[in-house]
Amino acid sequence: MSSTRFAVLVGAVLALAAVRPGHAQAQDVVRVGLVMPLTGVLGPVGKQAVAGARLYMAQHGDMVAGRKVELIVRDDASVPDNAKRIAQELIVNDEVAILGGGLTPSVLALAPLANESKTATVVMVSGTSIVTERSPYFVRSSWTHAQQASVLANWAARNGSKRATIIASDWAPGREAAGVFSASFTAAGGTIVEALKVPLANPDFAPFLQRARDGNPDTLFIFVPTSQAGILAKQFVERGLDKSGIKLIGPGDIADDEDLPGMSDAMIGMITAGFYSAAHPSDLNRDYVAAFRKANANVRPNFISVSAYDGMHLIYEALKVTGGKTNGDALVEAMKGMAWESPRGPMSIDPKTREVVHDIYIRKVEKVGGELYSVEQETFKTVKDPAKVANR
């Protein structure tokens, strides 16, 4: 469907809705549509996001500025075309006023629809920097891969790393993280020995680890899907690289709180840079973790869950500013510059870029109370997306 036909269809549907019986009552409801992967390999990502959003509503009620908030959740199965179709149905048929976006390809597919319908969209999962540039109606409550990778590169260089090898999955997040780490590490005086691309569905890292070892680096930066991080760490130990003096580091994604309890002790000692850990030492986070586990069969909340939790906070607070009005431009304007204390720590929305600004923590995987956790060692305050800062 062309953008012109879509605009006409939206206008026609809304015009008809205006004369439908009961429409005045419907206008008292603010519908928020979450388009998330709930099935397939990345199903756990969407489930954590939905659980975080629902927990926020359970704790803060469903009335904001005199209007009832209703959450509508749809599964895009990680398929961008599905996400686009679902979002169109939500906007036109369900009269959704605000969208919550998931994975990067799906969020990119939503951009034309958000632009055409002027629908405020909170990016709750995607960490790819370019996403917010695709629509003035996108505001991010999650993180960017560049934030984590740049902090980790600078920390590594400052802590004795001089020669680093990169092993990263060959997909958009992996390429972005690897590129930012490489540029930041080099700028800090380090040398990239080699950057190895690993197939996304790769089951065996042994050949890549051997090649990395042959290059004699002092540091190995990895970026792989969380489900593969445990395998890589195990093979790292099995091949004796942990005894070779090579530091194993990576972004927070590879030490996902939902998966850590089931990983082996080979993860112990791994250094990651991330914006959230279930072990974050604040009363607010301790309460969040307890409430999340109680509501979700004792599953530990991860960085995805808190991104959606904060996304709902952003929506609620913006509605308070607009007095319950759902005009996309007004909502986005209200979100710009907003700041609050999250279970992750202090955070805000950059008014110029609509990007999340938050602390990034250097963490070490340790065993606490018999379970693996990412324990914070050092804090980098109010980190902005470096790609956006460089382009200003």
Determine the pLDDT at residue 24. 34
Whether residue 383 sits in one domain with residue 343 = no
Determine the pLDDT at residue 227. 72
Report if residue 162 sits inside a domain: yes
Determine the pLDDT at residue 125. 96
Report if residue 136 sits inside a domain: yes
Q: What percent of the chain has pLDDT over 90?
A: 81
Confidence (pTM): 0.91
State the residue range of the domain holding 328. Answer: 3-143+285-354
CA separation (Å) from 95 to 29, 91, 190, 258?
Answer: 10, 5, 52, 34
- Rounded to a whole number of angstroms, the CA Rg of the chain reads 21
Whether residue 159 sits in one domain with residue 20 = no
Whether residue 259 sits in one domain with residue 179 = yes
Determine the pLDDT at residue 107. 97
Whether residue 321 sits in one domain with residue 245 = no
Whether residue 109 sits in one domain with residue 207 = no
Determine the pLDDT at residue 356. 98
Whether residue 222 sits in one domain with residue 235 = yes
Whether residue 268 sits in one domain with residue 184 = yes
Domains in the chain: how many in total? 2
Report if residue 280 sits inside a domain: no
Determine the pLDDT at residue 27. 63
Whether residue 57 sits in one domain with residue 129 = yes
Whether residue 191 sits in one domain with residue 92 = no
Report if residue 279 sits inside a domain: no
pLDDT digits (tens, 9 = 90+) for 12-44: 334 333 333 333 334 689 999 999 999 988 899
Whether residue 168 sits in one domain with residue 131 = no
Determine the pLDDT at residue 159. 96
Report if residue 137 sits inside a domain: yes
Whether residue 377 sits in one domain with residue 245 = yes
Determine the pLDDT at residue 13. 38
Pairing of strands 67-75, 63-64: antiparallel
| CA–CA gap between residue 112 and residue 69 (Å, rounded) | 25
| CA–CA gap between residue 55 and residue 306 (Å, rounded) | 10
Residue 328's CATH number: 3.40.50.2300
Q: Kindly give the parts of the chain with pLDDT less than 50.
A: 1-26
pLDDT digits (tens, 9 = 90+) for 345-379: 999 999 999 999 999 999 999 999 999 999 999 99
Whether residue 381 sits in one domain with residue 238 = yes
Report if residue 213 sits inside a domain: yes
Report if residue 293 sits inside a domain: yes
* Residue 170 CA, distance from chain mean position: 19
